[in-house]
Structure 1
Amino acid sequence: MSAGTDPATLLLVGGVRAVSLGLDMAELALDQAHERGLRTHLTNQEAVLAATEAVTGRAGAVSAVDFAVPGESAAWALRQVADGTRFDAVLALQEMAQVAAADTAEALALPGNPPEAVRRVRTKDACREALAAAGFRQPAVRLCVDATEAAAFLAASTGPWIVKPRDAMGSTGVSRITGPDGLADAVALLPGTGPFLVEEFVEGAEYSVEGLFLDGAPVVLAVTEKEKVEPPFFVEVGHILPAELPDARRTEIERTVAAALDVLGLRRGAFHVELWLGPDGIVLGEVHNRYGGDWIHRMLGHVIPGFQVYGLIYDDLLGLPRERADLTPVRAAAARYLTPPPGTVVAVDGWEEAAAHPDVLRAELAVGPGGTVRPLRTSGDRAGVIVVGADTPDQARKLARELADSVRFTVESA
């Protein structure tokens, strides 16, 4: 913060993707910044800025900077500072801009995560190696350049196996195989032609841990239970927050995740850590230096009344005084995705009634009459979502299911 009454300036590197979830995150982040009297400056790729006017119209200033070009965001920020602009905090909302934000914060000597730590968690095999070296349970994994290397890993390890991109999101290109016969099809599903990962499949219920860093230490806000489609794909179709777990198990999860984040070197912003509860205990999955997708940020805001998911991060980055609030969930929320069979949608019945339910926090229909439902292989193939709030996790789960089931799709098979 500068002397006098000049407001601090928040630099949001990488803006958001032009999808409803991203737009909502950015609008909420900007609103909570402005509530604190902060100036805001948002950067993103030029084409995305043009496609996200609802966000750019909220920001105090907007600049076209390509976060995907290594070093470009940091160099741009240094030029701005040399010309007299002041930045006081740097943050990225979306996954793909985390490295650019860390590089920029370091270049400006502002609080942020070490760039090498962010690169480590963004590179899935490097993150696995770091956690395994520190003694955390991890599935065996190999970075492969082609199907021949992948087949060699299969021969030397225990299946089933997961084939997935080294750097992607939304379950894109992720599939399970039970032997070499399925390898060619799994590789064909991968986006791009670069190196990919093959890792041993982990049995067990899946969860994620949501939280943020305050004063350099992780604060767990909630554990989320996941529901996924059956293999060979792993698209998430439901979330319940907070998960119903015994106190001892929840404490074990929180301590394990906190220790892992410390080993990985993350210190600022939000986190979303995936894990399995298997026969041998906790197995850590992917680590993200951001809030989870699938409307988890809105669910957190509901289950912890008065909690500002981004505002508290700004306070931490700027060193602003804050009251020690209780961040324990006192309510529950659930999300349920609509997954009709693939084909052309002829009609959708019951949507308006379901979306108008008083306990709905968010409802979005992605495919209407005349649209095409694709086979369910990635998050983008889901046909809609209903997010609800309730007093307990069980009530939230049941209501989300009931409302989702009340929406009836008439589909003409492809």
Structure 2
Amino acid sequence: MSGPLVVLGASGDVAAAAATLPVQVVHVRLPGAPRPVDATAVAYDVDYQHPPAFLPFVDEALAPLAPTAVVSLTELGLEPASAAAERLGVTGVPRQAVRDTRDKLRMRRLLDRAAPHLNPPYAPGDAPPDVVGALFTGNAAVVAKPVAGTGSLAVSLLRRPEDLPDSRRNPGTMLERYVPGREFSVEALSGGGRHRMLGIAEKRTSPDGFVELAHLMPPPGLTEADRRRVERAVAELLDAVGLVDGPSHTEVKLGEDGRVTVIETHNRPGGDGIADLVRLTTGIDWRRAALGWAVGERLPAAVKQPGFPEAGTAAGPAPVAGPREAAGPPRDGAAAARGVRRAAAAAPVEGAPPVAAAATVFLTAPPGRVTAVSPPPGLSGSARVVTWEVQVEPGDPVQPLRSSADRLGMALITAPGGPDACAAAVADLLARPAVTTCPDDAPPDPSRP
């Protein structure tokens, strides 16, 4: 009998997916985290982000269990999981590959060697002034972001070299020339160096272009040729960073000229409910697949869907080989922390056939104080809201929208009418004030109780 699967930092949804695997599951969670609902799972509380506490735990508690694999699907658990797997000599994502995906500067330098056409002009924050200035050539804008950041936190758009503050002129900052175009994220599962693309989502972002407001799967109007360009770029990237096994979530820009530019990648599924979009549009439980590869689970067949026109067989989306082979919050965590209220909506039926398109849409409002929260709205056509989560209530403060953490809730919608119908429903939902606010210094509205 094989040993257990060790999972670090599982959210409620990930723990539920792990419970469906035909192996014993051992959860390692941060102290104070909610206990997994699976009563059969073993759970340990340890600060896996603190090596002096975690590594002795690996030796003393995990090693005697003789686990088959150690994995994580949460950003801050990726490196500890790879370190534990390496220490135990069991299946896991190689530590170097994890580091090379989490560190954006290292990723850029690897692409410089293997696939430079996927990089924009870039430089570390402590580069000489002439190097930084060259990024602004032709009145180009430059994006400044943390080398190891997530969630659109501390990302800013610079118009001139002088806009870069002294506090960010350091090696912890990455500077990249801003690339216009449509932005997509790609979910892939790799095995033995072959990369199977499970879904492509298109983003809708805030006016500054950095905070994600919606994800649409599959993207409306994405041609087969452009889809292939995007998939090929993702395969080249995964080869460059050495991610040969396991899940990945990669963000790219597609320019009007057909050029694909990599934004960043992670060796985990995407957040923001993207795993639900994969499940709704393909029938594949992405969370389960992202765990199950490590214990020998084969990816189930997917159905044909718009955006994967060549996958019209039971085999689903075809694996994409990289060039070398061809030649030869988290939503759940945030919800738990903020006491999310889930309003009644038309919940998706488990085991229902895939839909033609689906999307996650995020609720926002001007800064101030919440005065009202709307119930789930009706949508035009066949689109419907299947999940409606609101993280605020009247009286709560609302901060300016600077990162994903400032969003106020999420809606999950399905659109049997296809990608264009889905895009129309998303636009409709984004235009509605689901959360109403007033400035903190505004007098109260006497018409409201």
TM-score, normalising length: structure 2 = 0.78
Distance change in 2, residues 1:347/1:63 (3 Å): same
Alpha-carbon shift at residue 301 of structure 1 (Å): 0.8
- Comparing 86-95 with 395-404, greater Cα deviation is found at 395-404
CA contact (8 A) 1:173 1:378 kept: yes
CA contact (8 A) 1:42 1:59 kept: no
Match of residue 397 from structure 1 = 423
Residue identity over aligned pairs, in percent, reads 29
Alpha-carbon shift at residue 58 of structure 1 (Å): 5.1
3-state SS of paired residue (1:274): strand
Match of residue 236 from structure 1 = 212
Alpha-carbon shift at residue 56 of structure 1 (Å): 6.2
Number of aligned positions between the proteins: 383
Q: How does 1:246-285 map to 2 (within 5 A)?
A: 246-280=223-257, 281-285=259-263
**1:159-185 CA-partner distances (Å, limit 9, x unpaired):** 31111111111100001010134223x
Match of residue 21 from structure 1 = none
CA contact (8 A) 1:354 1:407 kept: no
CA contact (8 A) 2:189 2:196 kept: yes
- Hey, what's the Cα distance between the residues in 2 that align with 1:376 and 1:214? 38
2:190 corresponds to 1:213: yes
Alpha-carbon shift at residue 276 of structure 1 (Å): 0.7
- Hey, what's the Cα distance between the residues in 1 that align with 2:275 and 2:15? 14
Match of residue 296 from structure 1 = 274
- Hey, what's the Cα distance between the residues in 2 that align with 1:73 and 1:295? 29
Alpha-carbon shift at residue 321 of structure 1 (Å): 5.8
2:73 corresponds to 1:78: no
Match of residue 305 from structure 2 = none
3-state SS of paired residue (1:80): helix
Alpha-carbon shift at residue 291 of structure 1 (Å): 0.8
Q: How does 1:29-178 map to 2 (within 5 A)?
A: 29-47=14-32, 49=33, 52-53=34-35, 55=36, 60-70=41-51, 73-82=54-63, 84-136=64-116, 137-145=118-126, 149=127, 151-158=129-136, 159-178=140-159
Alpha-carbon shift at residue 226 of structure 1 (Å): 0.7
Residue identity opposite 1:387 in structure 2: L
2:178 corresponds to 1:201: yes
CA contact (8 A) 1:73 1:101 kept: no
CA contact (8 A) 1:334 1:393 kept: no
TM-score, normalising length: structure 1 = 0.84
Distance change in 2, residues 1:236/1:150 (3 Å): farther
Match of residue 308 from structure 1 = 285
3-state SS of paired residue (1:388): strand
Alpha-carbon shift at residue 33 of structure 1 (Å): 2.7
Alpha-carbon shift at residue 365 of structure 1 (Å): 1.0
- Hey, what's the Cα distance between the residues in 1 that align with 2:244 and 2:93? 6
3-state SS of paired residue (1:351): coil
- Hey, what's the Cα distance between the residues in 2 that align with 1:225 and 1:59? 38
3-state SS of paired residue (2:227): helix
Residue identity opposite 2:271 in structure 1: G
3-state SS of paired residue (2:186): strand
CA contact (8 A) 2:16 2:37 kept: no
- Hey, what's the Cα distance between the residues in 1 that align with 2:156 and 2:355? 36
Distance change in 2, residues 1:412/1:156 (3 Å): same
2:364 corresponds to 1:339: yes
Alignment root-mean-square deviation, CA? 2.7
Residue identity opposite 1:182 in structure 2: D
Residue identity opposite 1:238 in structure 2: A
Distance change in 2, residues 1:408/1:108 (3 Å): closer
- Comparing 387-396 with 116-125, greater Cα deviation is found at 387-396
Mark the runs of 5 or more structure 1 residues left unpaired by the alignment. Answer: 3-7, 17-25
Match of residue 326 from structure 2 = none
Distance change in 2, residues 1:405/1:319 (3 Å): same
- Hey, what's the Cα distance between the residues in 1 that align with 2:429 and 2:141? 35
- Comparing 385-394 with 322-331, greater Cα deviation is found at 322-331
